[in-house]
Amino acid sequence: MVFHAKSVLRNDVAGSGYHAGARQGGDREAAMLAVVAVALIGADGQVLMQRRPEGRQHGGLWEFPGGKVEPGESPHQAAARELTEELGVSVPLAALAPVTFAAHPEPPAGGRAVTLMLFAARDWQGVPRAIDAAEIGWFAPHDVPALTMPPLDYPLADGLIAWLGRGAA
């Protein structure tokens, strides 16, 4: 799903997803890439992180599993699909709780602006395995910000800790 820089991302009132509202004006339009990430939270409170394979962008860095929102998908649907593709687990859409988001204030030179939306899930079927990652690991939430991660994952980690501290489900 591609939005334009002059778009507004807002939570749908009915709770069914997100919509981009285009605004008029401005000669410069940079595409925005919507990306989802998921913090799987185990019964012991630990969070699953995956290490990106070497040779890819951000290779060798730890990240929350996830990926791009495809055309026609809601962020919830994209998150569930990505978890199946990357970890081999199935997550009910109702089990995905929105936590926080992170975005670059300006698109990188020659690139697209990325908005990364973090969900959390405590309910899934299957045993997570590193299908599309070099490895996976379980970490205490307060240890996640100490991992070497892509830049947008740091505010997600901080937001997750704050969300958990508020007693979120």
Q: Can you give the pLDDT at residue 45?
A: 96
Q: Residue 95: what are its φ and ψ, rounded to 5°?
A: -85, -5
Which among 9, 167, 164 is positioned nearest to 101, based on CA atoms? 9
Asked whether residue 38 carries a pLDDT value surpassing 90, the answer given is yes
Q: Can you give the pLDDT at residue 63?
A: 96
- CATH class in words for 2-156: alpha beta
Q: Can you give the pLDDT at residue 6?
A: 29
Q: Can you give the pLDDT at residue 137?
A: 97
pLDDT above 70 covers what percent of the chain?
81
If you ran DSSP here, which 8-state letter would residue 96 be given? -
Domain spans of the chain? Answer: 2-156
**How many Cβ atoms from other residues are within 10 Å of residue 65's Cβ?**
25
Q: Which of 10-24, 29-43, 125-139 has the lowest mean pLDDT?
A: 10-24
What sign does the dihedral 150-19-120-85 (CA atoms) show?
negative
On the 0-12 / 13-18 / 19+ scale of CB atoms within 10 A, 28 is: exposed
**DSSP 3-state of 159:** helix
